Amino acid sequence: MSNPIARPSRLAAVFERCKQEGRSALVGYLTAGDPDVPTSEALLLALAEQSDILEIGMPFSDPMADGPVIQAASERALEAGTHIADVFALTKTVRDAHPDLGIVLMGYANVPYAMGFDIFSERAKAAGADGVLIVDIPAEEGNICDASLKQHGLDRIMLLSPTSTDERIKLACACASGFIYYVSLNGITGADMGDMQGIQDKVKHIKCISNDLPVCVGFGVKTPGQATQVAAFSDGVVVGSHFVGHIPQADNKADICGALSVSAASMRKAVGAIA
């Protein structure tokens, strides 16, 4: 009997589809449960309509890599009583509505560690996630989660930054699957982007080492103009704080969803996608 042909992961299919369309992928981020679970469901579905990959943040009480906008989102979600079960339920709702969308769960190690990585990975996969980005587990400590993620068919997204050495780039690329998330600045989410030429040069260098893994750029992309610039040299453009920032500025669910949809459509157009 012949062995079955392995199918590419959903994330790989997303990047291939974008490549065929001659554009970069739009990776949109929102924190699950912000400002409450029912509203979060509507917002995630609205952003999914415009995104190629949706990053769903797992709220945590000490999101040390995040700026004030996403920190506040975690605080609102936790104050509303959001639990990891809600994150999985929201993920399942989005997956059922968007079978071809890439979905990545993003957060900190405390959440899956407390649950147990085997149980977490099983439930994440069952909910429809394709990958996991755990901000505070570096490649050197991957032994605590890599086997569980791989067993359940979840890609492990790895972070690189402007200060990453060649040794660290090689290590991260060897451990990663799905894509590399390049943090465009030395700082927290939502800060201003640095020199665009410097970002482009670093991405080019990483792509020479990344063994054909796509490289997405995030942290600091706030305008369609910036998204267009980043899309010109990256496989994906990550927009987070810009989208999350719409939530506290609106008075009701309809207003938030409307503002988010308009903003996301603008960013989608900026990365080269045809409406």
Residues 187 and 194: their CA atoms lie apart, in Å, by 10
Per the residue annotation, which of 55, 130, 155, 235 is the catalytic one? 55
Active site residue 155: no
Residues 220 and 238: their CA atoms lie apart, in Å, by 9
Residues 68 and 66: their CA atoms lie apart, in Å, by 7
Structure-token match 């990975």, residue found: 121
Give the residues across from 56 on adjacent strands: 30, 105
Active site residue 96: no
Give the residues across from 26 on adjacent strands: 237
Per the residue annotation, which of 52, 66, 155, 235 is the catalytic one? 66
Q: Which residues are catalytic?
A: 55, 66
